[in-house]
Each structure stands twice: as structure tokens, then as C-alpha cells.
Amino acid sequence: CTLFPSLLQLRLQQRRTREQLADQGIMPPLKSPAAFHEQRRSLERSKTGDYLKHKIGSRPEKSELISMHILQGETFNSAVEGSAQEPPNKLRRARLADDLNEKIALRPGPLELVEKNIIPVDSSLKEAAVKGICTGVVHRNFVPITNNHRLQFALDRA
């Protein structure tokens, strides 16, 4: 099969050089002995191990994480009762979703923002927006949106 030798040649051409491997710490450097390289690697590994042991030793207790609201507090001791905790969480999420939807529905629309001078517009465009008619002059940063059969203007998000 002639595919294998050509594939092997391709792989040999694409492999990294010895210098690249030495720079990445995979092989020992050319000018230093292999024993020195191994000693250096073991030192780096032990240093990393010591760092991780220190971090694990200084991590906060579960009670601290609960007080910082990172973890949820345990209200039930057994795993069976823990599954009973899911409905209150779903209820809380449903309430939050309802509250957010209510707030989104009550937020002002683009016309109100133009009327209150929150969105900067040309004076002719503001008059057209307030009157609900379009004079054909549209600022390049605004896009007409039809909603409830009225012409409104909103900032172009692009």
C-alpha cells in the first residue's frame, strides 16, 4: 500500500523540532544533561503540588460559602427530603420570572423615551414620533418599528 509511506512522510514533515519540544518542556534541552531536566521537572511538579495543597487548605468552609450565597443552605438532612426542596426552588424561579416579565411589560417604549428626551433625536424626527406620523426623514441611527398600528422609532442595535 503506497498510502502508508506518504502518510508517514507527511507526519515526519509536520512534527515539531527538538528545539520546540525542549522549549515546551517535553524533551530535555540539548546542552543540559537529562538528569538535570528530570530534576527540574520534579521540582516544578512538587512546587505545583505544594501550591494546590495550600489552596485546598485555605479554601472557605461550607458555612462561609452559604453565608456568601455561593451555596444554598441545607434545610433538609436526608437525600429523600432534599428532593422535596425542588418545588420551592421552582416556585421561587417562577415568581422571579413573573416579576421580570411584569417589569419588562411596564418599561417605557421608544416613543416615551423620545418624548422624555432620553433618546436623542432630530427635532423633525421627534415631532413625527410624537405625532405618530412619518415625514420621510429618518435618522440613520433609527429604525421604524410598527407596533399596535403606530409608527415608532427605536435605536438601531447594529
Instruction: List the chain domain ranges.
Output: 10-57, 64-105, 108-155
Tell me the pLDDT tens digit for each residue of 71-86: 887 654 444 455 555 6
In angstroms, the Cα distances linking 111 to 21, 22, 31 are 63, 65, 74
- Residue 139 predicted with pLDDT over 70: no
- What lies within 8 Å, CB to CB, of 156 at 6+ separation is 140, 141, 142, 143
pLDDT score, position 45: 93
- Residue 156 predicted with pLDDT over 50: no
pLDDT score, position 35: 83
The pTM of this model reads: 0.33
Distance CA 99, CA 119 (A): 26
| Share above pLDDT 70 across residues of the chain, in percent, rounded to a whole number | 70
- CA angle 131/134/139 to nearest 5° reads 110
- Residue 149 predicted with pLDDT over 60: no
- Residue 140 predicted with pLDDT over 80: no
Bridging pattern class, strands 142-147 and 150-155 = antiparallel
| Residue 149 backbone zone (phi > 0: left; psi -120 to 50: alpha; other: beta) | left
- Residue 19 predicted with pLDDT over 80: yes
HSE (side-chain half, CA atoms, 13 Å) at 64 = 4
Per-residue pLDDT averaged across 24-35, rounded? 80
